[in-house]
C-alpha cells in the first residue's frame, strides 16, 4: 500500500505506523471533540470564578491564600512535563525504540505526580489558613476550578500508567499507540488550561 | 523494505528534525512567556490594571504557542477539521463566557452593587 | 461498632419514610390516603412490571438472546431501537403524570385531590422525563438507527461508546423509576432552580434523585453527540459529500454539535448544585457569597440550545417525510441546510430570554430579544420550504404525513407565541404563566414528538420488516393533534388571565372552564397513547400480512431504503458509491437499483462488548448510593466503573469478521426475493400487497 | 373600608381579536386578572404591544394557514395538477421566503427595542405626584409590604393612592419569587440578598389580583394578594387606621412571619381575626435593608429575644401550621 500523505496533519503517528495511523484518524478527531466539550466546562468554571471574585463573605481572599512561589513551581513542572511528553511522542513517531519512549513517559509521569503533590500541599496549606470551600462563594469557585484541573491531571497519570502496563502486556501495538497519541492531546490540553489558571487565578489574584 | 518505504524515510528525516525543533521552540517560548508575567507580578510594581492586561496578553500568546508547537495546529494546510473545531469551540466559548460575564455583572450593577469589582 | 452505627453506614439515610405508603399509615387523613394510594399504585406498577419482565424472560428462556443480541450488542440499529424503547416507556409514564396534573387543575378551584407536594413531584418528573428521558432517547434512537444507513456507513465511529451512552441514559431512567418506589422525587421543577433546591430548603433525597438522573443522562448525551458528529465527519460512503447528505443527517449533525457544546453547562450547573448540597460549597446558597443567578445563567446556557437539540432532528424527519410522501425532491435543500446551521449557531446567543424578568438592563434584554426573534427567520424559511416541497408534488396522506401537516400548522402558531415571548416587555406579562407552558408544549409536542412519531411510523418497517397497522395509526395521529389542541390552547388563555404555572390550585372561578377543557384534552392525548399501543399490538399480530422484505415500502429516496428490511447487521453488502442527492431515488430512476456487486468482501464489524451493561449497573448503583448516602456503594460502584474501563482498554479482539460467502448468500437471496416481488404503485402503499417494492417510475417517481 | 371597583374594561373595541377570552374578562369577578384588560399605563402599553406583534407576525403566519390546505388538496395523490418531481429551487421564491421574514423581524426589532427601554421596570413613571414608595419582601408563602415613609407594613395587601405611581423595591427573605400584578404591569423576580425595582401605576381606583409566579414550595398556589388603588383620602384613612389598630411587629411575631406558612396559617398563629390581623404599625427604619443585608432582624425589633435561625428548618412547620 502506498503511503498517503498524512491525512490528519496535527498530532499524529506518521506514515511509519500505517495501520495505527489510520485508526488514529477517527480516534484523534473524536478525542479533539471531547476535549473541546471539556474546554467549555473549564471556560464556564473560569467565568464563574470571575463572577465570584468579590464574594469573599468576609473570608480570606487571593492575597492571603495564594503563594507565588508554589504557583510558579507547579507551572514549571507542568510545562516541562508537556515538553517531555512531546519528546515521548517524538520517540514514538520516529521509532526510537521502546526504551526511550518509556523513559520519557516515566519522566512525564513523575513530573505530573510532582505537580499533583505540590497542588495538594497548596490546598492543605490553604485549608490551614481558613481557605476551605465552605467558607465563601469565592473559595467555592476556586475549589471547583483548580482541583478539577488537578483531577484531570491525576486521571491522565492513571491513563499513562495503564498504557505503560499495556505496553508490557501487548507490546507497542496499535491500541497502545493510539492511546499514547490521545493521551498526548490531553496532556498538552491540560497544560493550556493551566496557563489560564496560573494567569487568571494566581497571577491575577496576586497582581 | 520497498522503494516507497525508503522514499518516505527521507521525507521523514526532514519532518523528524522539524518536529524536534518544534518541541524545543515551544518549550523555550512557553518558558519565556511564563517567566515574564511572573517576574512582572513579583517585581515590576506596575499598576494593577496594566498588570492584568499584560498577564492576559502573555497568557493568550502562550496558548497559541502551545497549540502551534505542542499540538501542531497551524493555519497552513487545507483540510483541517481540528482547526475548524477549535475555532468553532472558541466562538462558542466566547459567546458563553462573554455573555455570562456581561449578564452577571450587569445584574450585580442593578441589584447588588457591592459585588461589582 | 454498635448495630446502629452499622445500620447507619449500611443504609445511609434510607428508612421507612422512603416507602410510598408510609405517610399514609402514619397519618391516615383523607388527603394522605388519596395521594399515598396513587404513589403506592405507581410503585407497585414499577415493581410488578420489573418482576413480570424478569419472569417472562425466564419463562421463554430469552436471557441469552437478550444478553448477546441486545444488551451487549454494539450494532447501532439495535442500540437505536433500545433507546426508543426507553423513550416510549418513559413517554407513557410522563403522559400519565400529565393527565393527573390536568385532572387536578380541572377540579383545582379551591381544592382538588392531589397534595401540593405530590403535584410538585408530578410536574418535576414530568418535565425531567419528557426532556431527558423521553425526547433525548427518542431522537438519539432515531438518529442512531437511521443516520449511519443514510450516509452509507457500517456503524458509528465508536460503537462501544454508543452502548455506554445508552447504558447511562437507561441508568438515569431507572433511577427516576426507582424514585417511585423509594420516594420522594424533587419538587423543584425540571430546571431545579436554587436556592429552593438547596439543602437548606430541600434537605431530602428528592433533589439528589433529580441531580444524578440528569447528570447520568447528560453524560450519555455528550458522548452521543461526539459519536454522531465524528461519524458524520469520518464515516460517510465514498461520494457522499456533506452536501449530498439527506437533510436528516444535517439536522443530526447540528444536533450533535449542540449536544457537544450545550451539555457541559448543564453538567457544570448540576455538579455545582451537588457540591453545594453534599460538601457545603456556596455557589447558589443564600449566605456566604452564594448567588443563584449564576445557576439560572448556567442552566439556560444549556437549556436553550437543548430546545434546538430536541427540535432539529424532528425538522430532519419532517424534511424526509414531506419529500418522500410528496414524491418529490426536497425544495431548497441548500436553504434548509443553511437555515439549520443558522439555528444551531444562533441558539447559543439567546439563553437570556428565559430570565428577562431577573432585573438586568434593557440593553441586554433587547439584544437577546432580537437575537431570539432572528431565529424565527431560518425557522420560517424551513416552514415555507416544506410547503414548497409539497407544491407540484403528489401528496399522499399517510400517517407520517398527517403528523407532518399537523406539525406544520401548529408549529407556526407556537412560533408566533414564541415571537411574542421574545419581546421582553410582553414577556414581563406572560413569563412564568401557563402561556409559557402552552408555548413550549406547542413547540415540543408538534415540533419534537410528532416528528419522532412520524419517524417511528416511517422507519418501523425498515427496522422490523413489517408495516404498522393503519387504522389505529390514523386514530393515534388525529387524537394527538386534537388532544394537543384541546389540552394546550386553553393554557394560552389561562396564561393571559395571569394563572401562574405549577399551581396545584387556584381561587379564580374564571380559570375553571379552561382547566376543564384542558383536562379533556389530556384524556384525548391518553387515548392517543392507547391507540399507539393498540396499533403496535395489532401490527405485531398481523406482521405476516404486512411484511415488506424488499425494504422500500414508501418509495424512499435515501440509502436506507436500498437495504432489506430488517437491515442486516453490516447494513450494506458492499459500501455504496454515491453520485448525487437522493441517492437511492436516482438509482431507481436510472433502473440501477438492486444490482449485484462485482465482488463480495469480508466485512469487519465491531464485536459485542459487556462494557455498556456493566456501566449501566455501576452508574445506576453509584447514583443510587449518592442519593441515599450509601457511601460504601458509591465507592464500590465507582471502583468497578473505573476497573471496567481499564479492563476494556486491555481488550484487543474488538472486531469480528463476517465472511464474504455469508454476505453473498444473504444478498443474493434477497435479490431473488426482490425479483419475485410484485411492485406496487403508491395508491397501494398501505395495502397488504405492498411488500416493499415500489413500481418503477413513469415520468418521475409516482405515477 | 370602601371599595370603589370600577366597571369592567372600558375599551372593548380595542381588542376585538381577543374575542375568545373576552367573555371571561367581561365577567370579571372581584379583582382584575389580566393585562388584556389593563388597569394601568404599563399593562396598557404591554397589551398594545402584544396585539401589534400578533398583527405583524400574521403576515407570515396566515399564508401558512391558508396555503397549506390548498397545496395539500391541489397536489393530492391522484389529482390532476402539474407534477414536477425534480423541481426544487426557485431564486425568486428564495428572495421572498428569506426576505419577508427578515423584514418582519426587522420591524419587530425596532418596536422591541423601543418598548424594552420604555417599559424597563426600573424606569420611574412620569406623573404629577411623587410616587409612593413601598418595599416588598417575599416570604414563604406571603408578601410583606413595608411603607417606609408611613412606617407601617401589611401582609398580602398592597394599598396605594390611585393618583400616585408605585415605586417598589423588592427582595426575598426566602427562595426566588416573582412579584406580579398582571393588570397593572410587569413582573420582576425578588431574590434573597438583592434588590430589584419595579414601577407601576393604576388608571383609577380598583382591585387587582397580584401573585407570586415563581414556584417556591407547597404553599405556592396560595401566595396571592390584592392590590388596591384608592383615593388619596381613603389611603390616608388606611394609614391612620393601621397606625392605630395594627399590631406591633415584635420579635416573636417576626419569627412567625418569617416561617414557612400560608396567610391563613399565619393569621391563625398570630391569633388574629378581622381586617387588621396582618397589619403592622410602627415599623422601624432600615427593616428592609436589614433583610436584604441578611443581618439579624432581632436588634431592630422590640420584644423578647427568640432563638431563631433566619431560615426555618424544614418539615417542622413553624407557628401556625395546625
In this structure, the strands spanning D187-190 and D152-155 are: unpaired
ipTM of the complex: 0.93
pLDDT digits (tens, 9 = 90+) for D257-294: 999 999 999 999 988 777 788 999 989 999 999 999 88
Sign of CA dihedral C506, C508, C514, C519: positive
Sign of CA dihedral C270, C275, C280, C284: negative
Q: Are there at least 3 beta-carbon pairs closer than 8 Å between D and B?
A: yes
Q: What are the residue ranges of helices labelled H in C651-689?
A: 660-676
Range of lowest pLDDT (C635-649, D28-42, D151-165): D28-42
CA distance D246 to chain C (A): 27
What counts of helices (H) and strands (E) characterise chain B?
3, 0
Q: What are the residue ranges of helices labelled H in C280-398?
A: 292-325, 333-346, 362-390
Query: Does the beta-carbon distance from D76 to C366 stay under 8 Å?
Result: no
Secondary structure in 3-state letters for C304-316: HHHHHHHHHHHHH
Per the structure, the complete domain to which residue A202 belongs is given by 66-206
pLDDT number for residue D14: 40
pLDDT digits (tens, 9 = 90+) for A91-102: 988 877 889 999
- C-alpha–C-alpha distance, residues B72 and C199, integer Å: 47
* pTM of full prediction above 0.90: yes
C330 touches chain D (CB under 8 A): yes
- C-alpha–C-alpha distance, residues A43 and A148, integer Å: 12
Shared-domain flag, residues B16 and B47 = yes
Task: Return the SS3 of C418.
Answer: helix
Is residue A51 domain-resident?
A: no
pLDDT number for residue C577: 93
In this structure, the strands spanning C603-606 and D177-180 are: unpaired
pLDDT number for residue D302: 82
**How many structural domains compose chain C?**
1
Q: Kindly report the number of other CB atoms within 10 A of residue D6's CB atom.
A: 15
Q: Which residue of C has its CA nearest to B105?
A: C360
Shared-domain flag, residues B104 and B66 = no
Per the structure, the complete domain to which residue C599 belongs is given by 62-609+654-684
Closest by Cα among B10, B29, B37 to B70:
B29
Greater pLDDT, D2 or C95:
C95
Summary mean pLDDT of chain A? 90
Residues A54-80, mean pLDDT to the nearest whole number: 94
Residues D52-74, mean pLDDT to the nearest whole number: 96
Task: Return the SS3 of D33.
Answer: coil
Shared-domain flag, residues B50 and B81 = no
Touching B (3+ Cβ pairs <8 A), the chains are: A, C, D
Shared-domain flag, residues B65 and B80 = no
Query: Does the beta-carbon distance from B92 to C360 stay under 8 Å?
Result: no
Beta bridge partners of D155: D144
Which secondary-structure segment (H or E) carries C403? helix C399-422
Contacts of A206 (CB under 8 A, 6+ apart): A62, A63, A66, A68, B41
Is residue A8 domain-resident?
A: no
With beta carbons less than 8 A apart as the criterion, state whether D192 and D173 touch. yes
In this structure, the strands spanning D177-180 and D187-190 are: antiparallel
Q: Kindly report the number of other CB atoms within 10 A of residue B32's CB atom.
A: 13
Any idea where the domains of chain D sit in the sequence? 41-118, 132-300
Whether the pLDDT of residue B7 is over 70: the answer is no
**How many structural domains compose chain B?**
2
For testing contact with chain B, the best of A5, A11, A207 (most B CBs within 10 A): A207
Q: Are there at least 3 beta-carbon pairs closer than 8 Å between D and A?
A: no
Q: Are there at least 3 beta-carbon pairs closer than 8 Å between A and B?
A: yes
Shared-domain flag, residues B62 and B91 = no
pLDDT digits (tens, 9 = 90+) for B87-115: 999 999 999 999 999 999 999 999 988 77
- C-alpha–C-alpha distance, residues C646 and C334, integer Å: 45
- C-alpha–C-alpha distance, residues C98 and C126, integer Å: 7
Shared-domain flag, residues B64 and B90 = no
Whether the pLDDT of residue D27 is over 50: the answer is no
C234 touches chain A (CB under 8 A): yes
- C-alpha–C-alpha distance, residues C495 and C503, integer Å: 12
Chain A contacts of B100, Cβ < 8 Å? 44, 47-48, 51
Considering only residues 138 to 157 of chain C, which have any Cβ-Cβ distance to chain A shorter than 8 Å?
157
- C-alpha–C-alpha distance, residues B28 and B33, integer Å: 9
C364 touches chain B (CB under 8 A): yes
Q: What is the CATH number of the domain that holds C206?
A: 1.20.210.10
Q: What is the CATH number of the domain that holds A169?
A: 1.20.120.80
Low-confidence ranges of chain C (pLDDT < 50): 700-703
pLDDT number for residue C698: 56
Shared-domain flag, residues B65 and B52 = yes
The domain D132-300 having CATH identifier 1.10.287.40: the answer here is no
A150 is written with which cell numbers?
488537578
Per-residue pLDDT band for D306 (boundaries 50, 70, 90) equals low
With beta carbons less than 8 A apart as the criterion, state whether D283 and D223 touch. no
- C-alpha–C-alpha distance, residues C690 and C682, integer Å: 9
Whether the pLDDT of residue D16 is over 50: the answer is no
In this structure, the strands spanning D152-155 and D279-281 are: antiparallel
Considering only residues 454 to 473 of chain C, which have any Cβ-Cβ distance to chain A shorter than 8 Å?
none
Instruction: Examine residue C566 and say whether the peptide bond preceding it is cis (omega within 30 degrees of 0).
Output: yes
Query: Does the beta-carbon distance from B95 to C265 stay under 8 Å?
Result: no
Q: What are the residue ranges of helices labelled H in C235-291?
A: 247-279
Per the structure, the complete domain to which residue B87 belongs is given by 76-117
pLDDT number for residue B6: 56
pLDDT digits (tens, 9 = 90+) for D190-235: 999 999 999 999 999 999 999 999 999 999 999 999 999 999 999 9
Whether the pLDDT of residue D3 is over 50: the answer is no
Whether the pLDDT of residue A25 is over 90: the answer is no
With beta carbons less than 8 A apart as the criterion, state whether D220 and C116 touch. yes
How far does chain B reach from its first CA to its final CA, in angstroms? 67
**How many structural domains compose chain A?**
1
Amino acid at each position: 500500500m502506498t503511503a498517503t500523505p498524512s491525512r490528519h496533519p496535527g498530532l499524529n503517528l506518521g506514515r511509519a505506523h500505517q495501520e495505527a495511523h489510520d485508526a488514529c484518524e477517527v480516534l484523534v478527531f473524536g478525542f479533539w471533540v471531547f476535549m473541546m466539550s471539556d474546554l467549555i466546562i473549564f471556560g464556564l468554571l473560569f467565568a464563574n470564578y470571575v463572577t465570584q471574585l468579590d464574594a469573599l463573605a468576609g473570608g480570606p481572599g487571593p492575597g492571603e491564600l495564594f503563594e507565588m512561589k508554589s504557583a510558579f513551581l507547579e507551572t514549571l513542572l507542568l510545562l516541562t512535563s508537556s515538553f517531555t511528553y512531546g519528546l515521548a511522542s517524538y520517540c514514538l513517531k520516529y521509532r526510537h525504540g521502546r526504551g526511550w519512549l518509556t523513559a520519557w513517559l516515566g519522566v512525564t509521569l513523575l513530573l505530573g505526580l510532582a505537580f499533583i503533590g505540590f497542588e495538594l500541599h497548596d490546598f492543605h496549606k490553604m485549608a490551614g489558613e481558613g481557605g476551605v470551600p465552605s467558607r465563601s462563594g469565592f473559595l467555592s469557585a476556586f475549589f471547583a476550578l483548580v482541583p478539577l484541573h488537578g483531577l484531570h491531571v491525576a486521571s491522565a497519570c492513571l491513563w499513562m500508567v495503564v498504557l505503560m502496563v499495556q505496553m508490557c502486556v501487548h507490546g507497542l501495538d496499535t491500541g497502545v499507540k493510539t492511546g499514547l497519541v490521545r493521551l498526548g492531546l490531553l496532556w498538552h490540553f491540560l497544560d493550556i488550561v493551566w496557563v489560564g489558571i496560573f494567569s487568571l487565578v494566581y497571577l491575577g489574584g496576586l497582581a | 523494505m520497498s522503494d516507497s518505504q525508503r522514499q518516505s524515510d527521507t521525507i521523514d528525516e526532514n519532518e523528524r528534525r522539524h518536529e524536534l525543533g518544534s518541541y524545543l521552540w515551544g518549550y523555550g517560548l512557553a518558558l519565556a512567556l511564563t517567566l515574564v508575567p511572573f517576574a512582572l507580578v513579583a517585581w515590576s510594581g506596575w499598576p494593577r490594571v496594566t498588570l492584568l492586561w499584560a498577564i492576559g496578553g502573555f497568557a493568550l500568546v502562550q496558548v497559541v504557542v502551545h497549540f502551534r508547537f505542542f499540538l501542531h495546529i497551524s493555519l497552513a494546510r487545507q483540510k483541517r477539521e481540528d482547526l475548524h473545531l477549535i475555532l468553532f469551540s472558541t466562538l462558542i466559548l466566547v459567546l458563553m463566557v462573554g455573555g455570562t460575564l456581561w449578564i452577571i455583572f450587569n445584574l450585580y450593577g442593578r441589584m447588588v452593587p457591592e459585588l461589582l469589582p | 461498632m454498635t448495630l446502629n452505627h452499622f445500620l447507619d453506614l449500611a443504609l445511609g439515610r434510607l428508612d421507612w419514610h422512603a416507602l410510598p405508603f408510609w405517610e399514609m399509615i402514619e397519618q391516615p387523613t383523607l388527603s394522605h390516603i388519596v395521594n399515598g394510594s396513587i404513589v403506592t399504585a405507581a410503585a407497585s406498577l414499577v415493581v410488578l412490571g420489573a418482576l413480570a419482565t424478569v419472569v417472562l424472560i425466564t419463562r421463554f428462556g430469552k436471557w441469552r438472546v437478550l444478553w448477546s443480541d441486545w444488551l451487549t450488542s454494539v450494532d447501532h440499529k439495535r442500540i437505536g431501537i433500545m433507546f426508543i424503547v426507553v423513550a416510549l416507556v418513559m413517554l407513557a409514564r410522563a403522559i400519565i403524570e400529565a393527565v393527573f396534573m390536568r385532572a387536578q387543575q380541572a377540579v383545582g378551584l379551591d381544592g382538588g385531590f392531589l397534595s401540593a407536594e405530590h403535584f410538585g413531584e408530578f410536574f418535576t418528573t414530568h418535565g425531567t422525563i419528557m426532556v431527558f428521558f423521553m425526547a433525548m432517547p427518542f431522537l438519539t434512537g432515531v438518529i442512531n438507527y437511521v443516520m449511519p444507513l443514510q450516509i452509507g456507513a457500517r456503524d458509528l465511529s465508536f460503537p462501544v461508546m454508543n452502548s455506554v451512552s445508552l447504558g447511562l441514559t437507561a441508568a438515569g431512567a431507572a433511577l427516576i423509576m426507582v424514585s417511585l418506589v423509594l420516594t420522594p422525587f424533587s419538587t423543584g421543577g425540571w430546571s431545579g432552580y436554587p436556592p429552593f433546591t438547596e439543602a437548606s430548603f430541600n434537605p431530602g433525597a428528592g433533589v439528589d434523585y433529580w441531580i444524578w438522573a440528569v447528570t447520568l443522562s447528560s453524560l450519555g448525551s455528550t458522548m452521543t453527540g461526539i459519536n454522531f458528529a465524528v461519524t458524520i465527519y469520518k464515516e460517510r460512503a465514498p461520494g457522499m459529500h456533506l452536501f449530498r447528505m439527506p437533510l436528516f443527517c444535517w439536522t443530526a449533525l447540528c444536533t450533535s454539535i449542540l449536544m457537544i457544546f450545550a451539555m457541559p453547562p448543564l453538567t457544570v450547573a448540576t455538579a455545582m448544585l451537588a457540591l453545594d448540597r453534599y460538601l457545603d460549597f456556596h455557589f447558589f446558597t443564600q449566605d456566604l457569597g452564594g448567588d443563584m443567578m449564576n445557576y439560572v445563567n448556567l442552566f439556560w446556557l444549556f437549556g436553550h440550545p437543548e430546545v434546538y437539540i430536541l427540535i432539529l432532528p424532528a425538522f430532519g424527519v419532517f424534511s424526509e417525510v414531506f419529500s418522500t410522501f410528496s414524491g418529490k425532491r426536497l425544495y431548497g435543500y441548500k436553504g434548509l441546510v443553511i437555515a439549520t446551521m443558522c439555528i444551531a449557531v444562533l441558539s447559543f446567543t439567546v439563553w437570556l430570554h428565559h430570565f428577562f424578568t431577573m432585573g438586568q438592563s434593557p440593553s441586554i434584554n433587547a439584544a437577546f430579544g432580537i437575537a431570539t426573534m432572528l431565529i424565527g427567520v431560518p425557522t420560517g424559511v424551513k416552514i415555507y420550504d416544506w410547503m414548497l416541497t409539497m407544491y407540484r408534488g403528489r401528496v399522499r396522506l399517510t400517517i407520517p404525513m398527517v403528523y407532518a401537516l399537523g406539525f406544520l400548522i401548529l408549529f407556526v402558531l407556537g412560533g408566533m407565541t414564541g415571537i411574542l415571548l421574545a419581546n421582553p416587555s410582553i414577556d414581563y406579562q406572560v413569563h412564568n404563566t401557563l402561556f409559557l407552558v402552552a408555548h413550549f408544549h406547542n413547540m415540543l409536542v408538534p415540533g419534537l414528538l410528532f416528528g419522532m412519531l412520524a419517524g417511528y411510523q416511517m422507519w418501523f418497517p425498515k427496522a422490523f420488516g413489517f408495516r404498522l397497522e393503519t387504522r389505529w395509526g390514523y386514530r393515534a395521529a388525529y387524537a394527538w393533534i386534537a388532544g394537543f389542541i384541546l389540552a394546550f390552547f386553553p393554557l394560552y388563555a389561562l396564561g393571559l388571565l395571569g394563572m401562574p404555572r405549577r399551581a396545584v390550585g387556584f381561587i379564580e372561578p374564571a380559570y375553571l372552564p379552561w382547566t376543564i377543557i384542558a383536562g379533556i384534552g389530556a384524556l384525548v392525548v391518553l387515548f392517543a397513547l392507547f391507540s399507539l399501543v393498540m396499533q403496535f399490538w395489532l401490527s405485531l399480530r398481523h406482521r405476516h400480512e404486512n411484511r415488506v422484505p424488499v425494504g422500500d415500502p414508501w418509495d424512499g429516496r435515501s440509502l436506507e431504503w436500498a437495504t432489506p428490511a430488517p437491515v442486516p447487521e453490516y447494513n450494506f453488502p458492499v459500501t455504496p458509491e454515491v453520485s448525487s442527492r437522493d441517492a437511492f431515488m436516482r438509482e431507481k430512476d436510472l433502473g440501477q437499483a438492486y444490482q449485484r456487486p462485482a465482488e463480495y468482501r469480508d466485512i469487519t464489524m465491531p464485536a459485542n462488548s459487556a462494557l455498556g451493561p456493566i456501566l449501566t449497573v455501576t452508574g445506576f448503583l453509584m447514583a443510587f448510593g449518592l442519593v441515599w448516602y450509601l457511601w460504601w456503594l458509591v465507592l464500590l460502584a465507582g471502583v468497578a466503573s473505573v476497573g471496567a474501563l481499564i479492563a476494556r482498554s486491555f481488550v484487543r479482539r474488538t472486531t469480528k469478521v463476517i465472511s464474504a460467502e455469508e454476505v453473498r448468500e444473504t444478498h443474493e437471496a434477497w435479490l431473488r426475493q426482490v425479483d419475485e416481488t410484485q411492485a406496487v404503485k403508491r395508491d397501494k402503499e398501505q395495502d397488504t400487497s405492498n411488500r416493499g417494492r415500489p413500481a418503477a417510475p413513469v415520468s418521475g417517481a409516482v405515477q | 373600608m370602601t371599595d370603589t371597583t370600577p366597571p369592567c374594561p372600558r375599551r372593548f373595541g380595542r381588542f376585538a381579536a381577543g374575542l375568545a377570552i373576552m367573555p371571561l374578562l367581561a365577567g370579571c369577578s372581584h379583582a382584575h386578572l389580566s393585562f388584556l384588560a389593563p388597569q394601568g399605563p404599563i399593562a396598557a402599553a404591554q397589551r398594545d404591544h402584544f396585539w401589534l406583534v400578533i398583527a405583524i407576525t400574521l403576515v407570515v403566519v396566515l399564508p401558512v394557514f391558508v396555503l397549506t390546505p390548498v397545496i395539500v388538496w391541489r397536489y393530492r395523490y391522484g389529482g390532476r395538477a402539474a407534477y414536477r418531481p425534480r423541481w426544487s429551487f426557485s431564486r425568486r421564491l428564495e428572495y421572498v421566503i428569506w426576505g419577508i421574514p427578515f423584514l418582519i423581524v426587522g420591524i419587530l426589532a425596532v418596536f422591541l427595542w423601543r418598548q424594552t427601554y420604555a417599559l424597563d421596570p426600573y424606569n420611574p413613571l412620569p406623573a404629577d405626584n411623587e410616587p409612593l414608595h413601598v418595599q416588598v419582601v417575599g416570604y414563604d408563602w406571603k408578601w410583606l409590604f413595608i411603607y417606609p415613609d408611613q412606617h407601617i407594613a401589611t401582609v398580602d395587601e398592597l394599598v396605594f393612592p390611585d393618583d400616585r405611581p408605585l415605586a417598589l423595591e423588592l427582595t426575598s427573605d426566602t427562595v426566588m419569587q416573582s412579584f406580579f400584578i398582571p393588570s397593572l404591569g410587569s413582573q420582576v423576580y425578588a431574590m434573597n440578598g438583592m434588590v430589584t425595582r419595579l414601577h407601576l401605576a393604576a388608571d383609577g381606583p380598583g382591585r387587582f389580583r397580584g401573585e407570586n409566579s415563581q414556584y417556591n414550595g407547597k404553599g405556592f398556589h396560595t401566595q396571592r394578594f390584592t392590590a388596591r388603588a384608592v383615593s388619596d383620602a381613603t389611603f390616608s384613612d388606611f394609614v391612620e387606621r393601621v397606625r392605630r389598630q395594627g399590631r406591633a411587629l415584635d420579635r416573636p411575631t417576626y419569627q412567625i412571619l418569617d416561617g414557612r406558612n400560608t396567610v391563613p396559617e399565619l393569621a391563625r398563629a398570630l391569633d388574629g381575626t378581622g381586617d387588621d390581623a396582618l397589619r403592622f404599625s410602627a415599623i422601624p427604619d432600615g427593616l428592609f435593608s436589614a433583610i436584604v443585608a441578611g443581618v439579624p432582624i432581632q436588634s431592630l425589633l422590640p420584644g423578647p429575644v427568640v432563638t431563631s435561625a433566619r431560615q426555618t428548618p424544614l418539615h417542622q412547620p413553624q407557628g401556625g401550621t395546625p
